[in-house]
Amino acid sequence: MYIADQTWPELGDYVAESSLAVVPLGSTEQHGPHLPLATDHLIAEALAREAADRTGYLCTPTVNVGVSPHHRQFHGTMWVDPPQFRDYVESLTRNLAYHGIDRVVFVNAHGGNVQHLREVGRRLRDDGTMYAIEWMWDESIPDLVTDLFDHPGPHGGPKETSMIMHIARDLVREGELDSARDGGVVDLGDDHLREHGARTFYDAIENSGNGVFGDQTDASPEAGEELFEAAADQLVRLLSWLDDQPIDDLLAPVHVDPQPGSRR
């Protein structure tokens, strides 16, 4: 159920019966010469809408701009700073709590958002507002990703390329797959990441001239469909599990009892 398509009485009927919502989040950032800047938020929205359609749970509009300053050197990349992103998502999610939602899944498709969504979830849980957790699509199906691709890449690689081929193939510049591979980094090894135990880079361009990693020529719409269906299945299972949990079991545990003999 997509919230923006409903009327307010219909939503009243929903919260009378259910208290769970999904919030898709992504980014608007460079994904190499072959993929649109919309890649992450297209994936997040497609998975969230699919899971909501299968289950009947509520789906909100997508947060399209995320924490992406590490891609800022590439044309068109948009970002918000982490404090503003956290505050915005927290405020949006508190809106849902006001209307009767007490559990939320952040359906995320951008790695730069992860730690900030977890922080928002902690804030909301710790003050007793609701239980909100972050879910990242590729982390739900790691074995399938490694089975399908020798070099999946952490950004703009064949897993994301295949997903967009499945979701919005007309947006993939398929004639640029070779140049994406050859101008990027196929295998991002430890030598690209650290010196003597220290992470020495901050931005994607410091490791990849065109901003992407992996072998994009391994991508296919068939692989994208397999990834999409497997990830959607995992999300549906997560929603079902979360809906079954008593809310008191999800919120922050109480402080431990004082040690024997201690004074209050």
Residue range 57-80: mean pLDDT, rounded: 97
Q: What residue type is assigned to position 203 of the chain?
A: D
Short-list 129, 105, 140, 113, CA closest to 242: 105
Q: Where are the beta strands (DSSP E) in 8-62?
A: 20-25, 58-59
Q: Are strands 131-136 and 103-108 parallel, antiparallel or unpaired?
A: parallel
Highest mean pLDDT among 74-88, 186-200, 244-258: 74-88
| DSSP one-letter string for 79-96 | ---HHHHHHHHHHHHHHH
- Say what the pLDDT of residue 264 is: 54
The residues, any chain, with a CB within 8 Å of residue 123's CB and separated by 6 or more, are: 90
How many alpha carbons fall within 13 Å on the CB side of residue 198? 5
Entry pTM: 0.94
What tokens appear for 95 in the block? 């809106």
Structure tokens at 207: 């490791």
What is the per-residue pLDDT for 254?
87
Residues 6 or more apart whose Cβ sits within 8 Å of residue 186: 151, 153, 213, 214, 215
* Percentage of the chain modeled with pLDDT above 70: 97
pLDDT of residue 260: 67
Average pLDDT over residues 45-70: 98
- Are the C-beta atoms of residues 21 and 101 closer than 8 Å to each other? yes
Instruction: Tell me the Cα Rg of the chain.
Output: 20
Question: What domains can be seen in the chain, in order of their start residue?
Answer: 3-250 (3.40.50.10310)
